[in-house]
Amino acid sequence: MRSSTLLALSSAAASYALPTIEAVGGKFFTSDGDQFFIKGVAYQLTEKDPLVDTEQCTRDASLMKKLGANTIRVYHVDASEDHSGCMSAFSDAGIYTMIDMDTFDTYILPNDPWWNQTQLDRYSAVMDAFQNYDNLLGLFVGNEIIAINNQSLAAPFIKASCRDLKAYRDSKGYRKIPIGYSATDIAELRPWLQDYLTCGGNSSENIDFYGLNSYQWCDPSTYSTSGYENLQTQAKDFPVPIFFSETGCIKPGPRLFDDQDSIFGPEMVNDWSGAIIYEWIEEANEYGLISYGPQADATATGENVVGGFTRAGTPTPVSPDFDNLSKHWATISPTGVARSNYDATSVSTRACPTSTASGWLVDGNVAIPSLGQTLGSGSYSSVPSATGTAASPSASETQNSVSGSKEIAGMGAGLVSVMMVFAFWL
């Protein structure tokens, strides 16, 4: 008992080796005053919490360091578990974590949204479990809640969750852990959603950062033909840090990761804060950067074998993806601006968008639902009005691209992969 207690304490202490990160205006800064850019990978080995197996985290963190990663994104954790070993392992490798707070039974639903005490308690528990780790970069209140154009009435509930969780964070005296949202890349909702979640002038209600899950750039491509040029136009002088919370199109393949040169280069680096590559582990969707062994029969069973893929062990780079990404990140080291020289007033809160005929249904700076209110029951009295309707629900990501783009292949693959993950979990 004594030795295990000492081990836990030493692990927890080791996780405080990195400077903390805050969101100021449109940028992330470390507590040392340096601008921080995300070079990340999505890390969810199974539906279970991946941050409880210290040995596995240590093996993966070592190879992630060689890759050049400084951040991981985790979609599902168990707040009741001990995460000190894994958080220490990643901290020792210079790696921060971004964690989704929602769980399989607490998502904000897109078509019948609500935000209640049960959800707040469960999300808060995740915050409680991780707030003491200095390598916690940020927390997501949701991932792709709004997936098609006529689901935008859920947006005020996303904002309500952010309001209450930021209030909880501050009431507990926690540091200003950034709290934000990860969005699907949908032309009919962009840039209205990103503007709405940062509009109104009340920072206590607005997100602290905005992540975009975008698979537009499908190698070989360019800044212009991929559609990134349009994304940059819409992100110019954005009032909170904006970054790619998922990216890495695999069609037609191989992935060259040439998009990293634009994200961290002169075209986008002044407004974007980096990218998280989907994903660490190789599975049926073929997005993996590493594998833990050869593919097995889909019906095979055994320890750490799910869906024909081994989910633990010694990570082995997937060729050529791992090397291609590593080579890019090795040459990318933007310095950005020092916190002491940054004027946060250079970016301003966006105007709240009015509703559109193409599907954005929230009309202006509507009242945010209070805790316990729902849209479907009518208890949310300030129901957003709309001047248009979305009679034909769709997700036309291709509207953002230009002639010659392979965006259809990229987004189709990306959306399929996400659905496969959800199906696997459920």
pLDDT in tens, 91-101: 999 999 999 99
Catalytic residue among 22, 144, 279, 282: 144
Q: Amino acid letter at 50?
A: P
**Is residue 10 scored above 50 in pLDDT?**
no
Q: Which pLDDT score, from 0 to 100, does residue 394 have? A: 53
Lowest mean pLDDT among 4-8, 232-236, 253-257, 367-371: 4-8
Catalytic residue among 22, 188, 205, 246: 246
Domain range for residue 321?
A: 2-425
250, 219 in Cβ contact below 8 A? no
152, 360 in Cβ contact below 8 A? yes
Whether 246 sits among the annotated catalytic residues: the reply is: yes
6, 122 in Cβ contact below 8 A? no
Whether 282 sits among the annotated catalytic residues: the reply is: no
Describe the crossing of helices 84-92 and 2-14 by its angle, rounded to 10 degrees: 40
Residue of 229, 215, 235 lying closest to 278 (CA atoms): 215
Region 397-426 average pLDDT = 34
- Here the CATH number for the domain that contains residue 157 is 3.20.20.80
**Total of domains in the chain:** 1
Q: Is 299 exposed, middle or buried (0-12, 13-18, 19+ CB in 10 A)?
A: exposed
Bridge partners (DSSP) listed for residue 211: 182, 243
Model confidence pLDDT, tens digit, residues 21-33: 999 999 999 999 9
Q: Which pLDDT score, from 0 to 100, does residue 409 have? A: 31
Instruction: List Cα–Cα distances, 56 to 41, 45, 89, 280, in angstroms.
Output: 16, 10, 10, 13
- Model confidence band, residue 302 (pLDDT cutoffs 50, 70, 90): confident
The span from the first CA to the last CA of the chain, in angstroms, equals: 37
- Model confidence band, residue 377 (pLDDT cutoffs 50, 70, 90): low
CA dist 32 and 169 (Å) reads: 22
Q: Which pLDDT score, from 0 to 100, does residue 378 have? A: 56
**pTM of structure:** 0.88
**Is residue 297 scored above 50 in pLDDT?**
yes
The C-alpha angle with vertex 311 and arms to 127 and 66, in degrees rounded to 5, equals 75
Lateral strand order in the sheet of 21-24: 21-24, 27-30, 35-36
Region 324-338 average pLDDT = 96
